[in-house]
Amino acid sequence: MCGRYAATLPPEMMVELFNLLNKIDFPPRYNIAPTQPIAVIWEQQGRRTIQLVRWGFVPNWVKDPREFSLLINARAETMAEKPSFRDAVRHGRCIIPASGYYEWMKGKDGVRRPYYITMADGSPMVFAGLYSNWSGPSGEEVDTACIVTVEPNLEISSIYDRMPAMLTGEAVELWLNTREVDVKAATQLALPLPPGSLRYHPVGKAIGRADAEGPELIRPLSDEELAAEEVKPVKPKKVASGGGQLDLF
């Protein structure tokens, strides 16, 4: 699962990297959590734009989002079959730019520790995503999205059993092209990255708090700092409904 990530790319860089028609002022974020606004990119009629949407997918057929489960991830292997996602796989594919993401690994001592995961070459991550536009009975509209996940590659398998589907090169163009790239072809784009593509390092357990923010969250911990944190283990803080990390798969 991917339940926390960072996005620090400047708006101008995203416009250039992804050939966008618009720009949004989105400050650097180091601890993006479910239900918060996230920047996503989609393509409609050949026009590629970036939008702020809610992280937590709501299918357009849901009557009341408040009574619907929080869907922050979609399994690539089953997304085309699941009622919640199958329409979005056909018509609502998007990408989600990121600088890195966090995952918790349980050590041999049973203690879970957070790691920050980035591209090995320092390039931005491009998560495969799905989006939906929900319209309410009173005319209200909410755009929502989720991150597609896949089996882990060699590096991540030692940390967790899932990872975000990350797109590179031509796969970005094909994923966004819902006019010409069908569901079967799109699902074949959501694959684990080759071994050697990622790197990771331990970070402080403050990342478990949804209100934690700032560049210090991605700073690698020294051996001394790791030892100090192990003296008094701190479990990730659970957030009330609507703001927590939930794995629904």
What domains does the chain contain, in order, with CATH numbers? 5-231 (3.90.1680.10)
Interval 90-105 mean pLDDT: 97
Identify the band that residue 235 occupies on the pLDDT scale cut at 50, 70 and 90.
low
Residue 189 reports pLDDT greater than 70: yes
Model confidence at 135, pLDDT cuts 50, 70, 90, reads confident
Q: Cα(35)–Cα(115) distance, rounded to whole angstroms?
A: 22
Whole-model pTM above 0.95? Answer: no
Q: Kindly give the pairing relationship between strand 125-135 and strand 141-150.
A: antiparallel
Q: What is the pLDDT of residue 243?
A: 39
Phi, psi of 170 (to 5 degrees): -65, -25
- Give tens-digit pLDDT for 11-56: 999 999 999 999 999 999 999 999 999 999 999 888 999 999 999 9
Band of pLDDT at residue 229, cut at 50, 70 and 90: confident
The H or E element spanning position 74 is strand 73-75
Q: Is the pLDDT of residue 124 over 90?
A: yes
114 contacts 204 by C-beta, under 8 angstroms: yes
Burial of residue 228, with CB atoms counted within 10 A of its CB: 0-12 exposed, 13-18 middle, 19 or more buried:
exposed
- Mean pLDDT value across residues 156-184: 95
Q: How far is CA 186 from CA 101, 207, 229, in A?
A: 23, 33, 43
Does residue 154 have a pLDDT over 70?
yes
pLDDT at 242 over 70: no
Across the range 91-99, mean pLDDT stands at 97
Would you place residue 236 in the very low, low, confident or very high pLDDT band (cuts 50, 70, 90)? low
The reported pLDDT for the residue numbered 1 is 63
Q: Are 172 and 94 in contact (CB under 8 A)?
A: no
pLDDT band for position 80 (50/70/90)? very high
The span from the CA of 123 to the CA of 194, in Å, is 15
* C-alpha to C-alpha distance for 102 and 70, rounded to whole angstroms: 19
Q: Which residues are catalytic?
A: 2, 103
Question: Residue 152: is its pLDDT beyond 50?
Answer: yes
Residue 245 has pLDDT above 60, yes or no: no
Distances (CA, A) of 182 to 85, 149, 235, 241: 14, 19, 43, 35
